[in-house]
Structure 1
Amino acid sequence: MAEIPTRDHPDNTPDPAVRPLRALVAVSKTLDPAIETVICIPCFRRPDYLRRTLESLAGQRTSRRFAVVMVENDASRSESVPVATEYLTSGKLTGLCVIEPRQGNCYAINAAFETALQTFPAATSLLMLDDDEVASKDWLKQMLRTAEATGADIVGGPVFPEFDEQRKRGLRRHPAFAPAYEASGPVPVIYGCGNCLIRRSVFEQLGTPAFDLRFNFLGGGDTDFFYRCKRLGMRFHWVAEAAISETVPQGRTSLRWLVTRGLRIGAINYHVQRKATPTRWLRAKLTAKLLAALPLSLVYAVHAVLTERKGTIAMHPVTVAIGSALAAFGLEPQPYKASKIVS
């Protein structure tokens, strides 16, 4: 297997003492370094879903040339590699697949973006999909058109859930699944990287690693990344037409999962805010604010019961508030550890 050195310094010199080499396990017949658009896909134990993702990319209605960078984040099982190899060697897609040996959400995402930036030096637009998502036919065209027309640094789009069970479709409005915005236009920030376009200049300003490894097993490295971009004055745009669908397995519609999701969002919110509070006094104020949010969340819950008439939606603000308070005392879920991932 060939190996791709990763870069840790602004001058792009390798530092293998800090980051181990990533193994190149699949590559298309040709790789044109002049390609300007790269789609990144972190992969973990969902080969059947990945096949659907890649098929949707192969079927994009666009004249733009693009490459795909896949990162297998399970070095022991590597279930994504045969699927990646099939699509790359058959000519359906152009790109490569590497193995990131260190398991964790942020390790995988960083590996994808770093490999893309290194392999395609002319790339100006880097997009990301998860390996359980399916892109609509005009997704890439819409994302690129919006980025060019608006000059936005970051473009986001909706991810719509597809539920295995008919009776679970009422959860489309649940905050864990509903898109952040409904209409296209400038937005203050986006929250997730499951459907995004990021300009190369963004990575150049933020440096490496782009996604903070403190969020590696909690999740939320994307939320932290985008809030850091916001603080630097970068511009965000939402394009409602660039739709992605996400397969939601039965395990992710259970009451237990929804509660854990709320707790995790609360913990992420705490850590993102804590990074902006450098002194003990400010951190104490943040903790007090989060504790005060607990009774307020009950008011939101009552309002949600009256408007949505669905208990799982109503309890979400409460679980988020509890999650933030628990995180302030060092208690939080770790859903991106391999043994705890629901696939």
Structure 2
Amino acid sequence: MTDTPSIDICVCTFRRKELADTLRSLAAMELPEGFRIGIVVADNDEVPSAQPLVLALAEELPLPVRYVHSPARNISLARNACLDASSADLVAFIDDDEKATGGWLKRLVETAQASGADVVLGPVKARYGAGAPGWMQVGDFHSTYPVFVQGEIRTGYTCNALLRMASPRIAGRRFSLARGQSGGEDTEFFDQVFGAGGRIAYASEAWVEEPVPSTRASFAWLTRRRFRVGQTHGRLLGSKRPGAGRVGELAKASAKAGYCFAAAGLAAFQPVSRNRSLLRGVMHVGVLSGLVGARELRLYGNEGGQDAA
């Protein structure tokens, strides 16, 4: 058994009833051959509120499930608790409101084996309810895909990711506690992996699905999310480009924001194009905020659950 490679699927949770559907979807998917596979659930609530659900499901699911209580309403603590609890060769992350599709893990592993990459990302497909605005559904504003820059993926996310834990670019690395309530801790983590020479690959068929609740199906929620994404990017840029380099980035972000808002004006009667340009402009304003060191928005640890998870 000790010679059999292993995979741990890690799920961080905070007062979210959809966790049961997530765990059941993991048990129902097609498994990659030749691996021992387990599930680690890290509960980020002050009290172990998810423990009864997890222990009950552990009795019915065919995969072994471990529960870890990691209180503090800091998502980085929960992510790090997953890494600390695992000794697996590969670690996959999926959010507690997502469902794995049948081939999810198998496709991630196949891409990792074929590419030799340190990290593999998969896409997250948003599933909208009937009450979501038409422009939002047509434009698919909530789905998540990696960003390619000159043919490379330079950062990532934890809502659909596989990590090769023996990689020297990953071994011992942990998520920033300072970003555990603002969000962006995963962007920073994968940015550092890439900066250390790590390679990030993309498995386009490794889908997970994420229902979009009514609380997120609004332009206001998207605005807050894009602004925070920009803030994180700005902070990372600022740390790499001090002095005159930062001034140049400020000028570039200002120009990009202006261009996007102008484009939104020209598309005033085309809701999808207009709102896409507005949100890109908001993201660049967030970059400006991050570059000047403004306080980042807090998206985690709210009463109703992890707003950004």
Q: State the TM-score bracket (shorter-chain normalisation).
A: 0.7 to 0.9
Partner in structure 2 of residue 287 of structure 1:
250
User: Is 1:101 the counterpart of 2:71 in the alignment?
Assistant: yes
Cα 1:195–1:169 shift into 2, 3 Å: farther
Identify which range, 154-163 or 105-114, moves more after superposition: 105-114
Asked whether the equivalents of residues 301 and 316 of structure 1 are also in contact (C-alpha less than 8 Å), the reply is no
Q: Tell me the amino acid that sits aligned with residue 60 of structure 1.
A: M
Alpha-carbon offset, residue 217 of structure 1: 1.3
- Cα distance in 2 for residues equivalent to 1:160 and 1:170: 16
Unaligned runs of 5+ in 1: 1-30
Deviation sequence 1:292-332 (CA, Å, 0-9, x none)? 43323324535766877454323111111222223325143
- Per the normalisation by structure 2, the TM-score is 0.86
Structural mapping, 1:52-201, within 5 Å: 52-62=21-31, 63=33, 64-76=35-47, 78-116=48-86, 120=87, 123-165=88-130, 167-168=132-133, 170-172=135-137, 174=139, 176-180=141-145, 187-201=152-166
- Report the residue type matching 2:285 in the other structure: I
Deviations 1:145-174 (A, max 9, x none): 111122111111110011222543642565
- 1:104 Cα deviation from its structure 2 partner: 1.1
The alignment's TM-score, normalised by the length of structure 1, stands at: 0.78
Deviations 1:246-283 (A, max 9, x none): 12100101122111112111111111212323x44444
Give the secondary structure class of the aligned counterpart of 1:128: strand
For 1:246, which of 210, 215, 230 is the aligned residue? 210
Alpha-carbon displacement from aligned partner over 1:78-103 (angstroms, at most 9, x marks no partner): 33212211122335320311111222
Separation of aligned partners in 1, 2:92 and 2:267: 35
Contact kept in structure 1, 2:234 and 2:289, CA below 8 Å: no
1:251–1:342 Cα contact (<8 Å) kept: no
Q: CA RMSD in A?
A: 2.8
Matches within 5 A, 1:12-27: none
In the alignment, residue 41 of structure 2 is paired with which amino acid? Answer: M
Cα pair distance change 1:290/1:135, threshold 3 Å: same
Distance 1:43 1:246, change over 3 A: same
Note closer, same or farther for the CA distance 1:68–1:305 as it changes in structure 2 (3 Å cut): farther
Equivalent pair of 2:15/2:45 in contact (CA under 8 Å): yes
1:229 maps to 193
Partner of 1:147: helix, strand, or coil?
Answer: helix
Stretches of structure 2 that go unaligned for 5 or more consecutive residues are: none
1:169-215 CA-to-partner distances (Å, cap 9, x unmatched) read 642565752332599xx84234211101010124x435655212222
CA distance in 1, matches of 2:3, 2:51: 23
How far apart are the structure 1 equivalents of 2:121 and 2:134? 24
Judging changes above 3 Å, is the alpha-carbon distance between structure 1 residues 169 and 92 closer, same or farther for their aligned structure 2 residues? farther
Q: Give aligned-pair identity as a percent.
A: 25
